């Protein structure tokens, strides 16, 4: 009950009280953060192959 009230309040607050410029700035900031984080997550093909070899060799 409390969670649904909180969710409703958040939905109403974010829908009706947010300025379009502020919303666009928030979306752009999230986009930039996601682009930066993807650089650290991506592995090269060789790294993936080596990880597979190590995982197969680990039980031996």
User: What are 3-60's pLDDT values in tens digits?
Assistant: 677 667 776 666 556 677 887 888 889 888 888 776 666 667 888 888 899 999 988 7
What pLDDT does residue 53 have?
92
Q: Nearest 5°: CA angle at 43, between 40 and 44? A: 135
Longest dimension (CA), the chain: 60
pTM above 0.85, yes or no: no
What pLDDT does residue 33 have?
85
What pLDDT does residue 13 have?
66
What pLDDT does residue 16 have?
59
């Amino acid at each position: 009950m409390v969670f649904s009230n909180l969710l409703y309040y958040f939905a109403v607050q974010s829908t009706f009280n947010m300025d379009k410029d502020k919303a666009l700035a928030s979306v752009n900031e999230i986009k930039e953060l996601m682009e930066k984080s993807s650089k650290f997550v991506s592995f090269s093909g060789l790294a993936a192959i080596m990880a597979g070899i190590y995982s197969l060799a680990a039980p031996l």
